[in-house]
Amino acid sequence: MENGDIPENANDHCPGTQSEAAGKADSCQGCPNQEACATAPKGPDPDLVAIAERMATVKHKILVLSGKGGVGKSTFSAQLSFALASLDFQVGLLDIDICGPSIPKMLGLEGQEIHQSNLGWSPVYVESNLGVMSIGFMLPNPDEAVIWRGPRKNGLIKQFLKDVYWGELDFLIVDAPPGTSDEHISIVQCLQASGLDGAIIVTTPQQVSLIDVRKEVSFCKKVGLPVLGVVENMSGLHQPLTDFRFMKLSGDGGQTDVTQWVMEYVKENAPELLNLIASTEVFDSSRGGASRMCVEMGVLFLGKVPLDPQLCKAAEEGRSCFADQRCSVSAPALKSIIEKLLKSQGISRMALDDGA
């Protein structure tokens, strides 16, 4: 923000985002920030004191954002949490995607419920060092739509932050909905006073996604949220040759499965091919993808994660891709990204033990 609490792209005579007239004054008509300003919290907020007290026991707070839906942001949040927990960190995963909570599914916690204690709401635990909180645990029917306006969403996010008892955490990972809406403004305002490390932004390689990611980076800069790095997900389909099915097309558009014949032919004539990984581009990255965008916008590029059917299956089954060798294509890429993230922030097991 510039000029106190007035956005750079605000109309003339903007009353300021903290004003009671924000989003409602005559000068707000036609402003791109009008809806967000009208629904955002105004003035001194007593809940922020309670949130700061809760967050005092959390060492590192990281948002996971995306400019567009469907890029694998929640999958990344889930696997990041699994990975940090496997390194013996104490990890919390907070799902603030109020209208589309997929984290319970991706952590294998469907059907679980939140319990109340004298200390507050208790997270649902995957392991003793990995707790999860989501509105998905509060819905009587998983198929029920959450149709809420901004103020009610903001109220639940505040309640998650001030009423959930996480205990001592090394990391709180916050999985946010796509875009730059009420939830994003609310979570940044609520956590900035208690020390918000920054945001990881997830994208796919094509321009239709990167256009929106540029807006996400711009949002982070405007609200003073550091961008910890960008992850390019679904960066080409990588799969062992033996996992493919081979089809023969007929003139009328029909298909015949010839996988068995192909595999037998390869085994007999070129067995060395059976150990290869086949790769193809799914999304157009001819304009440089996320790595080029990061150079242009001055943010860190954390790396690429290939589109791996085994990683998709792990997410569907609610398990870590690091637990076995099935995600042989995607797990090493994710591990490299997480190591780069920790290194860029100067975070180590020793540093966390020392209270860094």
Predicted confidence at residue 41, as pLDDT, reads 63
Placement of tokens 């903007």 in the chain: 14
Runs of H (alpha helix) within the chain: 34-39, 47-55, 73-86, 103-106, 150-163, 182-192, 207-222, 259-269, 289-297, 309-317, 330-344, 349-353
pTM value?
0.84
Task: Using DSSP, state whether 231 is helix, strand or coil.
Answer: strand
pLDDT value at residue 79 = 97
Per-residue pLDDT of the chain (356 residues; tens, 9 = 90+): 433 467 767 788 788 777 777 878 888 888 888 887 877 766 667 888 899 999 999 999 999 999 999 999 999 999 999 999 999 999 999 999 999 999 999 999 999 999 998 999 999 999 999 999 999 999 888 888 888 888 899 999 999 999 999 999 999 999 999 998 889 999 999 998 889 999 999 999 999 999 999 999 999 999 999 999 999 999 999 999 999 999 999 888 899 999 999 999 999 999 999 999 999 999 988 889 999 999 999 999 999 999 999 999 999 999 999 999 999 999 999 999 999 999 998 887 544 444 44
Token couple for 97: 């995607």
End-to-end CA distance of the chain: 28
CB neighbours (10 Å) of residue 36? 20
Asked if 256 and 288 count as a contact pair (C-beta separation under 8 A), the reply is no
The pLDDT tens digits for 269-312 are 999 999 999 999 999 888 899 999 999 999 999 999 999 999 99
Residue 184 has what pLDDT? 93
Q: What local confidence, expressed as pLDDT, does residue 43 receive?
A: 60
Per-residue b or e along 112-122, where b marks 16 or more CB atoms closer than 10 Å to that residue's CB: beeeeeeeebb
